Amino acid sequence: MSDSSINLDELRQRIDQLDGDILRLISERADCAQKVAHVKLADDKDAVFYRPEREAQVLRRIMSLNKGPLDSEEMARLFREIMSACLALEQPIKVAYLGPEGTFTQQAALKHFGESAISLPMAAIDEVFREVEAGAVNYGVVPVENSTEGVVNHTLDTFMDSSIHICGEVVLRIHHHLLISDTTRRDKISRIYSHPQSFGQCRKWLDAHYPHAERVPVSSNAEAAKLVKTEWHSAAIAGDMAAKLYGLERIADKIEDRPDNSTRFLIIGNQRVPMAGEDKTSIVVAMRNQPGALHDLLEPFHRHKIDLTRIETRPSRTGVWNYVFFIDFKGHVDEPRVAAVLEEVKLRASELRVLGSYPQGVL
Ligand SMILES: O=C(O)C(=O)C[C@]1(C(=O)O)C=C[C@@H](O)C=C1
């Protein structure tokens, strides 16, 4: 036996030992989570098991303790899955997302809740809201903005008619690929299916590589991937999940025009989330139709040094909602300076609704 094989055996013995230790510790942790569930139930028979603020704190702590060699995001992803399995022991969590299966929204749902969550595809954004409001699922995941294409208006509009809370956010790097099936003639591609937002994110690449192919918008990238299975002259633009789900081949990788292309998704639910430490708040405000309205609205934020992360204007849909602004800012409604700003804004606005305070996305 060579020296290197002795070393290999020794190292594998050490790995076996460590795996045994990790197994014991994960089981001990799961046992603790089960006890947490009993404590929650003893306090309240309608106990809420999923605690976004606690999960954010656990993940941030792991990232700050990590000394490598695995990078902190990788380590947090492992802990994400451990927590997901622990939560499933407390209560299996049902999450509705904008489907069909294989969409980036499903990917975002799994990134946020981990693989132990039960994820259920819905045909439309309103349906995700309805399922959450009706209590048929615990949470929902909907896209809200893309770094290249901007805001998802439909999601914002749906908030206006709903009493739902935002419980979290998750940002996903979006990589698009050009996909074909095993029956596609790759030299004869004359039609490309995708979601309109994805066409927008790959516009320059398509102009350069497939200027003459017909671009057919469909309701989702996964739908595009499904259609390609049946047509020999078509390709689809979609992500990894859809490619795997429908067994498609990637003939061009990462074709998005901007390398930092990412989409932000919101986690919606029926619970108010306590402070996690690094939080965000989303509000919707209606101002009266008068000069200086936007200045009046933003001035208190400036004075109290509150960091705005986004502001969107949407057309009003009732007489009361003349101008409607969706505003995100750093901070939590339970912080006195945030509460003070909201009091001031309330006096200046014709309507103010806090959509939720929630931990800033960790992963
Ligand atoms: O701390 C809790 O409240 C738990 O239920 C435990 C735990 C965890 O595994 O750490 C599990 C689920 C919650 O969403 C948050 C954390």
One domain for residues 181 and 138: no
Is 257 among the domain residues? no
In terms of Cβ atoms closer than 10 Å to its own Cβ (0-12, 13-18, 19+), residue 85 is middle
Q: Would you state the pLDDT for residue 2?
A: 53
- Tell me the pLDDT of the chain averaged across its residues: 93
**Ligand 1: does its nearest atom lie under 6 Å from the Cβ of 88?**
no
The pLDDT value recorded for residue 150 is 84
Ligand 1 mean position, distance from CA 79 (Å): 12
Q: Please tell me whether residues 344 and 314 are part of one structural domain.
A: yes
Report the pLDDT value the prediction gives residue 319, as an integer from 0 to 100.
61
Helix axes 336-348, 293-303, angle to 10 degrees: 160
Q: Please determine, for residue 1, whether its predicted confidence score (pLDDT) is greater than 60.
A: no
The Cα-based distances of 193 to 6, 241, 257, 357 in angstroms read 55, 16, 17, 38
CB neighbours of 260 closer than 8 A, spacing ≥ 6?
147, 173
229 domain-assigned: yes
One domain for residues 155 and 134: yes
Ligand 1 atom showing the smallest separation from residue 82 Cα: 9
> Mind listing the pLDDT tens digit for each residue in 217-231?
998 899 999 999 888
pLDDT at res. 314: 86
Given ligand 1 and candidates 53, 60, 90, which is best to mutate, with the most ligand atoms within 8 Å of its CB? 90
- What is the interface pTM, i.e. ipTM, of the complex? 0.99
Q: Which of 74-83, 148-157, 160-169, 188-197 is predicted least confidently? A: 148-157
pLDDT value of residue 320: 52
Atom of ligand 1 nearest to the CA of 55: 15
Beta strands 249-252; 262-269: pairing state:
unpaired
For residue 280, what pLDDT is reported? 98
Q: Which domain holds residue 135?
A: 93-171+262-268
37 Cα nearest atom in ligand 1: 5
Atom of ligand 1 nearest to the CA of 58: 10
Dist. CA 329 → ligand 1 center (Å): 26
Give 132-141 pLDDT, tens digit per residue.
Answer: 999 999 999 9
- Residue 235 and residue 176: Cα distance in Å, rounded? 12
Q: Quick check: helix, strand or coil at residue 304?
A: coil
Q: Answer for the pair 170, 144: CB distance below 8 angstroms, yes or no.
A: no
Contact 223, 170 (CB under 8 A): no
Q: Is 36 in the pocket of ligand 1 (CB under 6 A)?
A: yes
For residue 75, report the distance from its CA to the centre of ligand 1, in Å. Answer: 17
Would residue 119 count as lying in a domain? yes
CATH number for the domain spanning 239: value is 3.40.190.10
Say if ligand 1 is within 6 A of residue 90 CB: yes
Band of residue 36 on the pLDDT scale cut at 50, 70, 90: very high
- Domain membership of residue 72 (yes or no) is yes
What mean pLDDT is predicted for residues 329-351? 95
Q: pLDDT for 314-325, tens place per residue?
A: 887 766 556 789
Beta bridge mates, 324? 286, 314
* Separation of first and last alpha carbons in the chain: 45
Among 89, 104, 134, give the residue marking a domain's end: 89
Which pLDDT tens digit goes with each residue over 304-315? 999 999 999 888
Say if residue 19 is in the same domain as residue 40. Answer: yes
